[in-house]
Amino acid sequence: MEIKFKLNGKEIKAEAEADTILLDFLREQGCYSVKRGCETANCGLCTVLMNKKSVLSCSVLAVQADGQEIVTLEGMQKEAEEFGDFLANEGAEQCGFCNPGFIMNVFAMLEEIEEPTEEEILEYLAGNLCRCSGFVGQTRSILKFLKYKKGGKKEA
């Protein structure tokens, strides 16, 4: 089946089998930040933005992307690099395997909640698993990033 959608700002027209999951389809398109983890919609590694909302690409069919706007980490390099500095400064990037899905969820959260509280951050990111460090460093990095975005100084 032919699908047309916008991927990271670029118009895409491609063939997709009816049973192809979005995760596999995006990797075929060169979006290697989209990772396979649990395949049961429980880890957040495959998170992408569909129309600015986070979706787990392991539980969405590629044909559902037809007419939609999909953004992966490859389409958010500048923003991801900026936020990634905050993760690194808090020691929250350890192995880095969960970072792409985590970062995508952070930016989806910021689209939805302008000034999230620490409790809202933890609730919003509950679907992302980090086996290295838990969420203490990640939460600190988000709070510092939010403060910086509001015009504060970048803390070391």
List where CATH 1.10.150.120 sits in the chain: 75-149
CATH topology classification for 75-149 = DNA polymerase; domain 1 (1.10.150)
Whether 4 shows a pLDDT value over 90: the answer reads yes
Whether 152 shows a pLDDT value over 80: the answer reads no
- C-alpha span between 26 and 126 (Å, rounded): 24
- Segment 8-12 mean pLDDT: 97
Q: What's the pLDDT band for 18 if we cut at 50, 70, 90?
A: very high
More reliable by pLDDT, 41 or 68:
68
Q: What's the pLDDT band for 154 if we cut at 50, 70, 90?
A: low
pLDDT at 97: 76
Q: What's the pLDDT band for 44 if we cut at 50, 70, 90?
A: confident
Contacts of 68 (CB under 8 A, 6+ apart): 5, 6, 50, 51
List where CATH 3.10.20.30 sits in the chain: 2-74
pLDDT at 51: 96
Strands 53-56 and 10-15: unpaired
Architecture of the domain delimited by 2-74: Roll (3.10)
Q: What's the pLDDT band for 155 if we cut at 50, 70, 90?
A: low
Residues making up the chain, counted from first to last: 156
Q: What's the pLDDT band for 156 if we cut at 50, 70, 90?
A: low
Whole-number mean pLDDT of the chain? 89
To the nearest whole percent, how much of the chain has pLDDT over 70? 96
Whether 119 shows a pLDDT value over 70: the answer reads yes
DSSP string, 82-138: HHHHHHHHTT--TT-TTHHHHHHHHHHHHHH-SS--HHHHHHHTTT---TTTTTHHH
pLDDT digit string, tens, across residues 58-109: 999 999 999 999 999 999 999 989 988 898 888 877 777 778 888 899 999 9
Contacts of 153 (CB under 8 A, 6+ apart): none
